[in-house]
Structure formats: C-alpha cells, structure tokens
Amino acid sequence: MAKTTRLHRMMSNLAVVKGSWDSIFLRNLGDKYSPGEDVLQDPYAKSDLVYVCISTTQRAVSQVPIVVYYQSKGKDGKTDWVPAQSDDAYQRLFDESPSPVADPYAFKESIVGNYLLDGFVAIVPFPPKKYPPDALYVIPKKYITPIKHPQTKQHIGWKYHPGGDSGPAFAFDLSEVAHLALWSPDDPIMGMSPMKAAARKLKIDYKATVYNEKFFDNGAVPHGVLTVPEARGIGDKTFTRIQEQLEGKHTGFRSAHRMMILEEGLQYTQTGLSQADMQFVELSRLSREAIMQCLGMKKTIISVIEDVNRATAEAERKEWWKGTIIPTLERIAFGLTQKILLPATGWGKGYLDFDTSGVEALQEDYEQKVRVAGMLSNLGFTANEINQRLELGFESKPWRDVWYIPVSLVPVGEGSMGGGGAEAEGTPPSAQPSGTEKPQDGLPQPEVALLDSGINKGAEAVEQVPAWEKRAAVVWKGLVAHTGQTEDLFQRKVSRFFYDLRQRSLKHLLSSRDIDALRSEDFKDEQKSLAKWLRPLYYEGAKHGIESAKTEIGNPETRRDVEDAPTEEKLRTSVGIDFTINDPAVAREIEKRVTKITGGGGLTGTIKDQIKLALATGVSNGEGIEQLADRVRSLFTMAATRAKTIARTEVAGSANLARGLAIDRSNFKRKIWYTAGDERVRGNDKNDQYNHVSMNGKKTKVGTPWKTPGGSTLDHPADYAANAPGDTINCRCIEVVDPDSYPE
C-alpha cells in the first residue's frame, strides 16, 4: 500500500490526459480552479484582452474634446449653432476639471470603461439642481440602483450607495442623474454588460492563459507515466531518489528533452495529446475574436495583424471609429445634454457634442465629402446647401447662398459677369465672398459691387471696366470660392491647437499648481500635432492656386493663340502641365512656412511669451492660482479669435504662392495686381497706414517682385515669406497675367 501511495504521489506531478477542454486547462496546474479566480468577477484585471480592448477605446474617446453649442441668430436673421467661448461656464466644466477626482481625460475614460464593463454608467451632477454644477461624478453600476413605484413598478428615481450594499444611501430624482445603458430585454433600465454575452469565451480565454502559465512552469515533465512490476516494487530510498531526479532534471521548460535513465524495472509509457487537445490554439483564437466582437474592437487596432494588409488595416480603423467610437460618443453627448445642459438652456437651445475633426482615421471620409461637394457645386448647388446636405460642419455664411459658375464653362462677359440690371436666365447675382482685407473681423456682405468703377451697375458702366479687370474679377471670385472650405478647416485646426495649449496650461496651474512648470513648458507635442494638421491644408491651398492659374493662363480670353477651351497640350506650352503641388519649388516654400508657423518661434512662441507676461503680471500683483488661471483663460479667449485671421492669411498665402510660381513659368511677360475692389481694401480709410487701393491695376514684369506704398517687397500678394504683416495679414488681393503681354 505504501508503494502504491508513493507512486500515486509521484504521478501527481505528471500530466493526466483527458479529452475534455477542462482537462486541458487543469493539466499540470497542481491546484484546484478556485471560484475566487472567476474572470467574470474582475475581467478588466484578469483578462489581458478585455483590458487592452477597453483601455484602447478609453484612450481614443478621451482625446476627443467635448464642445458646447448654443443656438444663435446671425445678422441675416438665420438661426445657427455656434460653439461656446472658452470661458463659458459649461465649456470650462468639461475642459478643465469635471470633478475633484478626475481631469477631462479621466472623466471620459471612466464613463467609457464602466459603460463597456457593466453595460451601464451614471453621471451625477453635484450639487443637485445647480446649473452649471460644480462637479460631475461618474458612478459605476454596483453603487446605484433604480427606485421603482411600489404599485406601478415605474422608474421614478435613483438610489446611490457610496459604500455598496452597506452604509447610507442617497435618493435622486430622474432629472438629477444622466445614465447610459446598453439595451437589455431583461432590464432596459440597467442594461446588460458585454461581459455577460462573452462569459463563456472569457472563461475559455482565461483558462487558456492560466494553462499557458502553468505549462511553462511544469511543462517539461515527460509526457508519460512510470510503472513498476507489482511483484518487484521499489524501496523508499529508491523512490525518493527517482522523485528527486524527476523534479530536479525533468521539470520546467529549461529541462526539456533531457535523457531520463530508468532502473529497478521501471517502464515508461508515453501519453500523447488527443486530437481535441491539438485544437487548443485554434479554439483560443476563436474565443479571443468573439470577445473582441462583443467589445466592438477590431484586430488591427490592438496590433493583431498576422493576416491583415495595410488596406484592410485602414478600413478596420475607420470602421472601428464609425461603428464603435462614434456611436459611443453620440450616446454620451446625448445623455450629458439631456441632464446636464438642457435644464439650464431649455429644449432646443443648446447641446453637447464631441469634436472629431482632429481624428486622423476619419479624414479620408472628409476628403471624400469634399470631392462630392465639388461635384455638387458643378451641378449648381450652393455652398450652404452642400454644407447642410453633407454635414461638413461649416458655419453658414451669406455669400455661400450664391452659386459660383465654373470659370471654364462660362464665357467671360456672359452669365454672372453680364452687364445691365437683368442677368442671364438662371444665373445667380454676384456675391462678395468671405474675407475682410483689413486686419479685423467683420461679417461679409452678401452682395457688393466688385469694382468701384461700376461693374454690375448697368451695361454702360460695365463697358468702362477694362477687359483684364473683368477677367480678373472672375478669377478672383473662383479662387475665393474654392479656398473657402480649406480656410474654414484651417481655422478649426488652429482653434483646436489653441484649445490643447489652453488645456495643458491650466493643468499645470489647477492640477499640479506648478507655475514654474508652465513657464518652462515647450508644448512640443502640440507643435507636432499642429504641423501634422496644417501641412495638408497648406498644400490644399496651393493646389487651388495652381488650378486657378492654369485655368486663367489657358483661357481663350487670356491667350490670343487659343481658340477654344484649354487642353493639356496648350497648358504645357504656357505653364507646364507637370506643375503640381509636388513640384520642388512649391514643396520647398510650403515646408518652410509649416516649419515657421508650427515651430517654437511661430504660434507657440507667441503664446509662450504671452503666458510668461500674464504670469509675471499676476504674480507681481500677488494673485493666487485661480486668478492666474483666469488670466490664462482670457489670453486663450483672445487667441481663439485670431484663428480666423490666421487661417485666412495662411491659405491665401499658399494659393498666391502657387499662382505666382505658375505665372513665373508661363510665357506671359507682365502681371497685374488686382484687389477685391470693395470698401475693405487697405487704403480706403484715410487712416490706413498701408494702401492696396493704389496697387490695383499696377503692372510689373513677370518674375519681378512688387513694391507696395507701405515699403514692402512682395513676390506676390499675401506673401507671408516677406515678413510684412501690414501688407499681408487678411490680404485678399491676387496677381493676374496681362493678356496683352503674351508673345505674338
């Protein structure tokens, strides 16, 4: 009996082969599977896959800023939604510190984490009935329960248990708690956790993980059993020696494949894996894929890329944002709007949304929308109609109610350029595009005269306008119309940049309470993001400039040797059809500008200097952290108003840069300066230091820089490389070729 007991004790260290899945998990464990280790009790900590899927989604959501929008009426009487100013009380709540225990990023991460783990999360504004509240607390499912009417069982409130089931409880009205729940047929109020649907797969994956751990601890044990003839038996000393040999030389992965010597008549019987055991890896993979599906995760997002190419990866990333992240953002925004914002603003007067304009994975969709917008524009739809239909997110502007006829399809002198009070049938009236030339913001007028000399004031007046000026007006309007969308997107990116700087600055003050850290902050990460956002927009502006120049240079009204619409061959002879935004000259100038505007001495340098000055002034006045934070907020509120001016100046500069390079390569000998021709052109006011009114119609040789009355030397209008802000900020002028200078 002693021999049998010893043999059983020795065999307990060996693998016991069974056919069931649990036997695979239990093999070589050496201890019983404890219910206390049930992965369903704490999946976020015990399942690496659950942690990776949820934390990845949390980080993605936390990077998307929450924006407050209010209903507003413009001067034209139209109702529009406008984002709140950075010092708005609700905007500050989401931007700075939603609660004492969570910054804006942790706040959004806690909402998403609880929502995906439990299928439910509650957000409680505190104190109740105060709008805006002082703080927003995220409450997990286990600490809050619904209160139901005893007779009707209708949901009438919430009971909050800060200490769990034990301790005091606090009651809240329905209106005092915002909650999100994944739908459940059994409990539509509290919802159903994705972990419940994935329970079996989670257990399998957890068991497989523990099995792998134990395998490497004990997996080098010979896959077999030792038997001894019962008639012979072995003594205690021999048993102990054999046991020590097995444990010392044949246990653990470092001892694999060593020779084992048998004695005393011992026989080794090999035990192999069953066919079911051999499917271990495949079954584990299928379980993990099912868990990812329950959590809305795509393989490439968490770097599972063994069978994925680049095109599939990009498609999955976009699908993940559109199928998982965007719906989650919409649910969160709706819940917060209903219970946090609407009690203060009233229904239909305000809402919360997530600004996804900075999400790289969604940019391709945006580019596709822009292409569709271009096609719709060619069909006769106005910019405001297109903006509303495609949900491009731009602010509605009066001049966008007018359709701009493509220049290449309408002979100059007809259509929108026709003289007389009556316009050609179906042709929209002329409109003044967005933009204020003087360095100040102002609402553009929907209809103004293009030229002081009398365009659109009757046939007799139109005859007095030189032919080149009529053609220049068409070119100018077309360029402004096409760069408008790029300008708006540029403005949004710069505004986002200022928002990120503001967040980091206030975090130093309010969270770390470290003034010195803010003084020495270099904002390197924000600079990198700004360069990544703006670089394609600079190239987009240059692209519009190149297309505008090619159309102008190849136009039969400009080129005397061209009798019909421009062809590739005709353009090649005048400007070079290969001249694109990839041309080294274009790329060189744009990269120089991107480096300057996004580098340490550009926008960031200006903001850093202003922050240091604000801190120095506040400290010298004996102000505390809160007062210093108010100074920083005011600084960024002023900076945000500059975003529009910056966008207008930079996009116009890149478009004019490309036009200038195209004109330099053409066969034309002279170029002409052309202004917008309205009252906002520099020089209309006697107090204007700089004068572009007198520049209108001036000519110079192609390749020769312009000399302005203000003393600037510009290669082209809006030449940002000239370091002449008085002549370039908000400049809407262009240069056009002199049709009389084309060689015979």
Looking at the structure, do residues 484 and 627 belong to the same domain, yes or no? yes
Q: Give 337-388 pLDDT, tens digit per residue.
A: 988 888 887 777 889 999 887 787 777 666 777 778 888 887 778 888 888 7
Mean pLDDT on 717-730: 88
Domain's final residue, options 251, 268, 294: 294
**Looking at residue 404, what is its pLDDT?**
62
Where are the alpha helices (H) located in 352-466, listed in sequence order? Answer: 363-378, 383-390, 459-463
Highest mean pLDDT pick, 231-240, 259-268, 671-680: 671-680
Q: Which residues contact 223 (CB under 8 A, 6 or more apart)?
A: 15, 270, 271, 272
**C-alpha span between 225 and 244 (Å, rounded):** 16
- What are the φ and ψ backbone dihedral angles of 486, each rounded to 5 degrees? -65, -40
pLDDT tens column, 293-330? 898 998 888 877 666 677 777 788 888 998 999 999 99
Clarify whether residues 208 and 189 are in a common domain.
no
Domain assignment present for residue 388? The answer is: no
Query: Lowest-confidence range among 120-134, 373-387, 473-487, 679-693?
Result: 373-387
* Distance from C-alpha of 101 to C-alpha of 617, rounded to nearest angstrom: 31
pLDDT at position 392: 75
Longest dimension (CA), the chain: 129
| Tens digits of residue pLDDT in 19-38 | 332 332 233 333 344 443 57
pLDDT of residue 311: 73
Among 40-44, 134-138, 390-394, 731-735, the least confident range: 390-394
Q: Greater confidence, 458 or 316?
A: 316
What is the structure's pLDDT at 635? 85
Check residue 190 and report its DSSP letter: T
Q: What is the pTM assigned to this prediction? A: 0.51
Q: What is the 3-state secondary structure (H, E, C) of 28-57?
A: CCCCCCCHHHCHHHCHHHHCHHHHHHHHHH
Residue 467: predicted pLDDT: 83
> Is the pLDDT at 18 greater than 50, yes or no?
no
**Domain boundary pick from 294, 311, 336:** 294
Among 538, 446, 450, residue whose Cα is nearest residue 494: 538
Check: CB of residue 172 under 8 Å from CB of residue 128. yes
User: Stretch 467-485: mean pLDDT, rounded?
Assistant: 87
CB 277 within 8 Å of CB 15:
no
Of the given ranges (123-127, 237-241, 373-377), which has the lowest mean pLDDT? 237-241
Is residue 447 scored above 70 in pLDDT? no
3-class SS string, 455-500: CCCCHHHHHCCCHHHHHHHHHHHHHHHHHHHHHHHHHHHHHHHHHH
Phi first, then psi, for residue 180 (nearest 5°) are: -120, 135
| pLDDT higher than 80, residue 414 | no
Burial 623-639 (b: 16+ CB within 10 A, else e): eeeeebbebbbebbeeb
Q: How confident is the model at residue 103 (pLDDT cuts 50, 70, 90)?
A: confident
Task: State the pairing for strand pair 120-126/135-139.
Answer: antiparallel
Taking residues 535-552, report their average pLDDT: 90
| Residue 193 pLDDT level (bands cut at 50, 70, 90) | very high
CA of residue 718 relative to chain centroid, distance: 30
User: Structural domain of residue 154, as residue ranges?
Assistant: 40-198+295-356
Query: Looking at the structure, do residues 500 and 409 belong to the same domain, yes or no?
Result: yes
Residues 649, 540: Cα–Cα separation, whole Å: 14
Q: Which of the four pLDDT bands, split at 50, 70 and 90, describes residue 283? A: low
Distance of CA 295 to the CA centre of its chain: 21
Are 188 and 207 in the same domain?
Answer: no
- Give the confidence band of 181 by pLDDT, cuts at 50, 70, 90: very high
Residue 234 lies in a domain: yes
20: in domain? yes
Same domain for 62 and 25?
Answer: no
Instruction: Give the list of residues 6+ apart from residue 563 with CB closer than 8 angstroms, or none.
Output: 556
Residue at a domain's end among 356, 378, 406: 356
- Among 297, 296, 300, 298, smallest CA distance to 313 is for 300
Contact 224, 38 (CB under 8 A): no
Nearest partner of 38 among 46, 29, 30, judged by Cα = 46
264: left (phi over 0), alpha (psi -120 to 50) or beta: left
Residue listed under structure tokens 């219970």? 339
Residue 156 is predicted with a pLDDT of 92
Name the more confident of 328 and 418.
328
Q: Provide the β-strand partners of residue 72.
A: 80
pLDDT of residue 155: 92
Residue 362 included in any domain: no
Q: Residue 372 domain-assigned? A: no
Residue 421 has a pLDDT of: 34
Per DSSP, 707 falls in state E
Rounded to an integer, the average pLDDT of 278-305 is 77
Does 368 map to a domain?
A: no
- 112 pLDDT exceeds 70? yes
Query: Which residues of 271-427 form beta strands (DSSP E)?
Result: 350-354
Digit-coded pLDDT (tens) for 660-669: 998 988 888 9
State residue 400's pLDDT score: 73
User: Who has greater pLDDT, 48 or 115?
Assistant: 115
Name the phi and psi angles at 413, rounded to 5.
100, -10
Q: What is the pLDDT of residue 280?
A: 58
Tokens of 65: 């800023």
Name residue 181's beta-bridge partners.
120
Asked if 276 and 156 sit in the same domain, the reply is no
pLDDT of residue 224: 64
730: left (phi over 0), alpha (psi -120 to 50) or beta: left
Query: What is the DSSP secondary structure assignment for residue 61, as one 8-state letter?
Result: H
Q: What is the pLDDT of residue 579?
A: 61
Q: What is the mean pLDDT of residues 627-640?
A: 83
Residue 371, domain member (yes or no): no
Q: How high is the pLDDT of residue 108?
A: 93
Indicate whether 128 and 21 sit together in one domain.
Answer: no
Mean pLDDT of 167-194: 90
Q: Are residues 562 and 600 in the same domain?
A: yes
* Model pLDDT, residue 565: 41
Residues 559 and 584 in one domain: yes
Adjacent-strand bridge partners of 83: 69
By C-alpha distance, which of 465, 477, 468 is closest to 698?
A: 468
What is the reported pLDDT for 683?
87
Query: Tokens 């998307």 sit at which residue?
Result: 64
pLDDT tens per residue across span 574-627:
444 456 667 788 888 899 999 889 887 788 888 899 899 989 998 998 888 888
Q: Which residue has the higher pLDDT, 185 or 456?
A: 185
Residue 546 and residue 579 in contact, taking contact as beta carbons nearer than 8 Å? yes
- In this prediction, residue 316 carries a pLDDT of 85
Q: How far apart are CA 648 and CA 730, in angstroms?
A: 6
Residues 561, 640 within the same domain:
yes
Structure tokens at 609: 């200097």
Judged against a pLDDT cut of 90, whether residue 538 lies above it is answered with yes
Beta-carbon contacts of residue 76 (< 8 Å; ≥ 6 apart): 398, 446
**Distance of alpha carbon 89 from its chain centroid, rounded?**
24
Other CB atoms within 10 A of residue 584 CB: 7
Give residue 431's pLDDT: 37
Q: How far apart are CA 461 and CA 731, in angstroms?
A: 27
Say yes or no: 338 and 431 in one domain. Answer: no
Residue 630 confidence (pLDDT) above 60: yes
| Residues 67-92: tens digit of each pLDDT | 999 888 765 667 778 888 877 889 98
Strands (E), 534-577: none
Structural domain contains residue 386: no
Rounded to an integer, what distance in angstroms lies between the CA atom of residue 373 and that of residue 386? 6
Number of domains comprising the chain? 3
Are 253 and 328 found together in one domain? Answer: no
Residue type, 492: R
